[in-house]
Amino acid sequence: MARTNQRTPRTKVEPLPVESPRPVAASVLVAAPSPQRVEEVASALHGSRVLRAGSPDEIRAILRETAVDAAFIACDAGDPAALALIEQTVGRAAVVALAQRPTLEHATGLMRLGAADLVALPATPHDLRERLAEALERTRRSRLLEARVERLRLVCRRLNEARRQVSSQVGTLCNDLVEAYQELSDKVTHMNVATEFSSLIRHELDVESLLRTALEFVLAKTGPTNAAVYLPATSGDYSLGAYVNFDGPKDSADILLEQMAGVVAPRIERESGVCFLKQGRDMAEFLGSDAQWIGDAGGVAFPCRHEGECLAVVILFRDRRTPLSEDLRPVFQTISELFGRQLARVIHIHHRHLPKDQWGGFAGPDDDIDLAA
């Protein structure tokens, strides 16, 4: 039996047709010195609104009057006028350069100017439409990116402004906290001093022991200091109640203290709070010509009142090289209030059998206490 060779017929595979880009509905400027070249490009861009130009002036006039999406501009190598025109058009439209036999150097220069693409002529209609679509898409993405960057810049500006506001508020809050801490610290100091001083003087019902205790407490807070306490006398003047002579000349101490009784105490009586006399001229304003007795010294003076009446004046002074600190102001203020209150209590006890208008003053100047003795 004879064999017959049968071959399976091969199926012929046809190549898939290349899909032509869809016409792009866009406004396109086509510019070239040659009208024939302009028409070749324009005819390939069917579906788009094509504006034709043959000279740089026409191109500029169209760009001033009409918004275009893309521009095909002929730009052969070595044509500086065309390069300048492309540079002016970039930013207004997606620029596609047209050139015959373009070189790598030419293409690099066009890209640096901002051209979206470079088409080598002659080109098929399919290629021109494809390049137009790609240029428009690239420009669209670029504009979206620019819009995003602008939004980010706006957000950054807002965040920066918010940061400045927060920083300002934080600075204000820190200042408020510092002030609040200082106020709280002053209050704590006031409470501690008030508690300590009150516990020392509340049982002192004798003027002499009260003055001694008060001066000892003051010197414990200030350190070695010249100090004097003046009390109002029945005559309306002030007399020395107690004093400490730390570094003053002994032969002039009595004269100085007596002069202070007549000059400083009446002036301090009119003050509403603690007076820091930091410089020699401040002391001179209080003592006048008698300031020479204390030399170059500074000090502190404050009245001790109760119910508006001045019951004592305390004066502290020492060499200006070791001045009394301003931090002691709340301490002196507390002493002033509590000392005046306790003095009023002592007066009330010693004169309780008399009407208040007949209580009079304290002891005369011969009854002063010298704590330095």
What is the distance of C-alpha 211 from the center of its chain? 51
User: Which residue, of 129, 144, 159, is where some domain finishes?
Assistant: 144
Identify whether residues 132 and 232 lie together within a single domain.
no
Q: Region 71-86: what's the mean pLDDT?
A: 80
Where among 144, 164, 179 does a domain terminate?
A: 144
Three-class DSSP category at 362: coil
CATH code (residue 86)? 3.40.50.2300
Boundary (domain end) residue, out of 144, 175, 209: 144
The whole model's pTM is what?
0.51
Q: What is the pLDDT of residues 43-63, one digit of tens each?
A: 888 777 888 887 888 888 888
| 236 vs 65, residue with greater confidence | 65
**Is residue 113 packed enough to be buried (19+ CB in 10 Å), middle (13-18) or exposed (0-12)?**
middle
319 and 218 in a single domain? The answer is yes
Judge if 205 and 121 occupy the same domain.
Answer: no
Q: Would you call 274 helix, strand, or coil by DSSP?
A: coil
The Cα–Cα gap between 67 and 69 comes to: 7
What is 54-98 written as a DSSP string? SSHHHHHHHHHH---SEEEEE--TT-HHHHHHHHHHBTTBEEEEE
Q: Considering the domain boundaries, does residue 192 fall inside one?
A: no
User: Does residue 322 form part of some domain?
Assistant: yes
> Residue 165: inside a domain, yes or no?
no
Look at residue 130 and tell me if it is in a domain.
yes
Least confident of 85-89, 219-223, 237-241, 363-367: 363-367
pLDDT tens column, 203-214: 888 889 999 999
Provide the 3-class DSSP secondary structure of residue 48: coil
Burial (CB count <10 Å: 0-12, 13-18, 19+), residue 258: middle
Q: What percent of the chain is predicted at pLDDT more than 90?
A: 13
Q: Given the DSSP bridges, would you call strands 117-121 and 226-232 parallel, antiparallel or unpaired? A: unpaired
CATH number at residue 282: 3.30.450.40
Domain that holds residue 271: 198-370
Determine, yes or no, domain membership for 159: no
